[in-house]
């Protein structure tokens, strides 16, 4: 009887099957490792520790470039309205003051390489439980502060709060979570001291203001627009640095001195601290349509009448030199703040300003958009909600 070949053939089939299974398991393992690495990279996006330098566009090329992308229409936004959030200041409350269109809050920021997590107010408060967050800066910081309060209240409309309004400090405490969110008005960050009846902007001194914010668990700073103010709007009569008093000086030079005083203070006092420090990059204005449109007409003089964002991923105009000062100071810090780099994405939003629909404007100003339009601040709901979505992502993911 001829010997049977069935057994050897069966053995070869079993070996082949084992080899195939092994290859599939190896492939699955490598895929899982790669996927895990991507998620880990996203979660660790820009959680820089000591001695790490931050580029202007803070990107992790293996993860998510949060600040590079474009605006896409999304009718699931906004997450709140002016009628459901009584916390909005008149100068940001565009709908109440007659803005006829409502497309500007219906745009979502889409980074090039990922999707942002949707803001969850309850998760925000749970993860901040027992802690405090303070926004420090000018009215742009207040814009962001009010936006965040409205976003949280939209998630938890029945949560109990304690409001403490005031100038320069206002706060909202979410009692069930023991979370306090505050805004401290300090448009130059450094101190203004009265000497012999005159207000002196101390470019090297920050201790008075810092006494207010030093115990916060999370800090978000900004400065910028006030360095351009002249006359009565500037809020001081003299500047002082190094013991010398000046009636005025180059404003960019003055801002750089103040920023370095701020950076040195943060390095000195938070070097071994768990305090999280953020800095909101320069918020752009839209007073010159030639910066975003080569075809600007005589009827287009500023942001008035703009109803849609600039298309694409880059802003065609130039950004203020103040942005370079902010970047350089942060890069040179021993413990760099996280630069929330909203300048480019905000530059694309020529449509998102109050324009003439601001409670801060008189009827005469509203009647003259060329001179009266506010193209510096932002409507709420609106663009600052995206800043807070990015802030939420950077803080927790």
Catalytic choice (141, 358, 377, 385): 377
- Concerning whether 45 is annotated as a catalytic residue, the answer is no
Catalytic choice (281, 374, 376, 385): 374
Measured in degrees and rounded to the nearest 5, phi and psi for residue 40 equal -60, -40
Q: Name 357's Cβ contacts closer than 8 Å, sequence gap at least 6.
A: 94, 95, 97, 98, 99, 366, 379
- Concerning whether 139 is annotated as a catalytic residue, the answer is yes
Catalytic choice (70, 139, 186, 281): 139
Classify each residue of 243-274 as buried b or exposed e, where b means 16 or more C-beta atoms within 10 Å of its C-beta: eeeeeeeebeebbbbbbbbbbbbbbeebeeee
Q: Which two tokens stand for residue 128?
A: 């901040």
Measured in degrees and rounded to the nearest 5, phi and psi for residue 237 equal -105, -30
Q: Which residues are catalytic?
A: 139, 374, 377
């Amino acid at each position: 009887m001829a010997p049977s070949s069935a057994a050897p053939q069966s053995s070869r089939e079993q070996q082949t099957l084992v080899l195939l299974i092994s290859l599939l398991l190896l492939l699955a393992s490598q895929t899982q490792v790669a996927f895990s690495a991507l998620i880990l990279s996203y979660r660790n996006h820009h959680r820089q520790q000591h001695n790490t330098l931050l580029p202007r566009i803070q990107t992790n090329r293996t993860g998510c470039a949060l600040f590079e992308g474009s605006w896409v229409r999304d009718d699931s936004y906004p997450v709140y309205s002016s009628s459901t959030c009584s916390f909005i200041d008149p100068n940001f409350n565009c709908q109440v003051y007659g803005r006829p269109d409502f497309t500007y809050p219906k745009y979502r920021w889409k980074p090039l390489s990922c999707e942002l997590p949707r803001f969850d107010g309850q998760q925000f408060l749970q993860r901040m439980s027992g802690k405090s967050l303070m926004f420090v800066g000018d009215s742009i910081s207040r814009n962001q502060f009010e936006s965040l309060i409205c976003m949280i209240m939209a998630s938890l409309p029945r949560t109990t709060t304690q409001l403490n309004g005031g100038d320069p400090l206002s706060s909202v405490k979410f009692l069930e979570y023991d979370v306090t969110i505050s805004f401290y008005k300090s448009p130059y960050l450094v101190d203004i001291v009265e000497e012999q009846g005159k207000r002196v902007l101390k470019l090297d001194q920050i201790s008075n203001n810092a006494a207010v914010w030093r115990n916060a668990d999370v800090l978000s700073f900004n400065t910028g627009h006030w360095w351009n103010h002249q006359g009565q709007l500037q809020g001081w009569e003299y500047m002082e640095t190094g013991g010398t008093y000046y009636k005025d000086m180059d404003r960019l030079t003055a801002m750089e001195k103040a920023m370095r005083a701020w950076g040195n203070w943060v390095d000195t006092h938070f070097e071994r601290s768990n305090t999280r420090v953020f800095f909101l990059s320069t918020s752009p204005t839209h007073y010159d349509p030639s910066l975003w449109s080569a075809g600007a007409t005589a009827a287009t003089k500023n942001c008035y009448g703009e109803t849609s964002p600039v298309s694409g991923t880059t802003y065609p105009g130039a950004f203020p030199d103040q942005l370079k000062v902010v970047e350089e100071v942060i890069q040179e810090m021993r413990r760099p703040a996280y630069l929330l780099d909203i300048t480019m994405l905000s530059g694309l939003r020529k449509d998102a300003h109050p324009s003439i629909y601001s409670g801060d404007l008189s009827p005469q100003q509203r009647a003259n958009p060329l001179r009266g339009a506010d193209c510096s601040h932002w409507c709420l709901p609106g663009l600052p909600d995206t800043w807070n979505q990015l802030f939420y992502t950077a803080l927790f993911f």
